[in-house]
């Protein structure tokens, strides 16, 4: 019961945020990403590393802010290409600061390779990957005119299909695998995940991707965000679902190495934000680049 209640609360907050778009979505995404960053730092510390929590948090916020900049009309007027063209600068600054700050830390020794590597990994794994959720919300076909209504912006359709693919994968893999699963998927990392559950999650993601893409182009969004390319819906579902399941396994690998069952206990019945967002951290960037290159043909 606790898992269901807090699961629906998280779902309501997520849906409300990405439907509102703009600054509210950016604030919600930043808050969730910062918590994920803290949980990653805790896992690294449990392993005996000493990453800089301030650098990880600061860089996560910087990535979300940079991804959000073009969508503050009347306040900041920047081209849609601004974030991706300036990500290399931000990444360079973050790497340099990580080396310099940890080198000058008042400890003996000041820093180890693991300290620096875990700091850089923290803000790339959480900040860089999560910022694609903001980039996706701002994505639109080249010939689509500006739309002020956040409920009709094409970026919302892209988030819908991505979330439905990832959520369907997680939910069906969990419940189907729990009831019918017999063959272990990767017991060395996650002993509860099964091949049957993974296949069920993949099939469910294909179904929901087809439903969302068809409804978005024919009934909900006037700019036809998927350009009537219905054929790519099942292919996108396969690619994103596999990425999401690998993301889940990757976070399980980190927890197992750190000797932790959950990344934290901040969400009753669910563990931590990183436990709930691990699939999104891999699935969302893959979905973003799929939509950008395959659906919209933007290279």
Q: Could you tell me if 71 and 122 are in contact, meaning their C-beta atoms sit under 8 angstroms apart?
A: no
Question: Tokens 């699961």 label which residue?
Answer: 7
Q: How far apart are alpha carbons 127 and 36 in whole angstroms?
A: 9
- What are the C-alpha distances in Å from 108 to residues 50, 105, 115, 297? 12, 8, 13, 52
End-to-end CA distance of the chain: 46
Q: What is the reported pLDDT for 37?
A: 96
Each domain of the chain, given as residue ranges in start order, spans 2-295
Phi first, then psi: what are they for 156, rounded to 5°? -65, -40
**Average pLDDT in the chain:** 91
Q: Could you tell me if 55 and 118 are in contact, meaning their C-beta atoms sit under 8 angstroms apart?
A: no
Q: What is the reported pLDDT for 82?
A: 86
The 3-class SS string of 151-205 reads: CCCHHHHHHHHHHHHHHHHHHHHHHHHHHHCCCEEECCCEEEEEHHHHHHHHHHH
Question: Tokens 């009753």 label which residue?
Answer: 268
- What are the C-alpha distances in Å from 231 to residues 142, 200, 226? 20, 21, 10
Question: Tokens 């929590």 label which residue?
Answer: 53
Q: What is the reported pLDDT for 75?
A: 60
Q: Could you tell me if 274 and 251 are in contact, meaning their C-beta atoms sit under 8 angstroms apart?
A: yes
Q: Could you tell me if 157 and 221 are in contact, meaning their C-beta atoms sit under 8 angstroms apart?
A: yes
Q: Could you tell me if 59 and 94 are in contact, meaning their C-beta atoms sit under 8 angstroms apart?
A: yes
Q: What is the reported pLDDT for 73?
A: 54
pLDDT tens for 176-203 read: 998 998 999 999 898 889 999 999 999 9
Written as six digits, the tokens of 181 are 């699963």
Q: How far apart are alpha carbons 126 and 149 in whole angstroms?
A: 29
Confidence band of 72 (pLDDT split at 50, 70, 90)? low
DSSP 82: H
pLDDT tens for 111-130 read: 999 999 999 999 999 999 99
Give the mean pLDDT of 10-38. Answer: 91
């Amino acid at each position: 019961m606790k898992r269901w209640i807090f699961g629906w609360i998280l779902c309501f907050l997520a849906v409300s945020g990405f439907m509102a778009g703009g600054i509210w979505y950016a604030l919600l995404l930043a808050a969730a990403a910062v918590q994920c960053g803290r949980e990653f730092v805790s896992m690294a510390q449990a392993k005996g590393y000493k990453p800089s929590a301030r650098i990880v948090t600061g860089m996560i916020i910087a990535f979300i802010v940079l991804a959000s900049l073009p969508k503050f009309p009347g306040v900041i007027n920047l081209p849609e290409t601004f974030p991706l063209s300036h990500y290399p600068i931000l990444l360079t600054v973050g790497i340099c600061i990580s080396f310099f700050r940890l080198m000058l830390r008042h400890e003996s020794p000041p820093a180890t390779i693991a300290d620096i590597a875990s700091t850089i990994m923290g803000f790339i794994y959480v900040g860089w990957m999560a910022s694609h959720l903001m980039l996706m919300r701002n994505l639109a076909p080249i010939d689509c005119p500006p739309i002020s209504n956040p409920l009709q912006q094409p970026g919302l359709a892209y988030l819908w299909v991505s979330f439905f693919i990832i959520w369907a994968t997680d939910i069906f893999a969990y419940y189907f695998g729990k009831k019918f699963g017999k063959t272990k998927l990767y017991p060395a990392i996650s002993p509860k995940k099964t091949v049957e559950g993974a296949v069920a999650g993949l099939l469910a993601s294909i179904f929901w991707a087809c439903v969302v893409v068809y409804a978005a182009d024919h009934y909900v969004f006037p700019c036809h965000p998927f350009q009537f390319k219905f054929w790519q819906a099942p292919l996108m579902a396969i690619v994103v679902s596999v990425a999401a399941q690998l993301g889940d396994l990757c976070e399980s690998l980190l927890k197992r190495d750190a000797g932790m069952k959950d990344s934290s206990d901040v969400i009753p019945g669910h563990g931590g934000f990183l436990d709930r967002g691990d699939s999104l951290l891999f699935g969302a960037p893959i979905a973003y680049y799929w939509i950008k290159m395959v659906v919209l043909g933007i290279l």
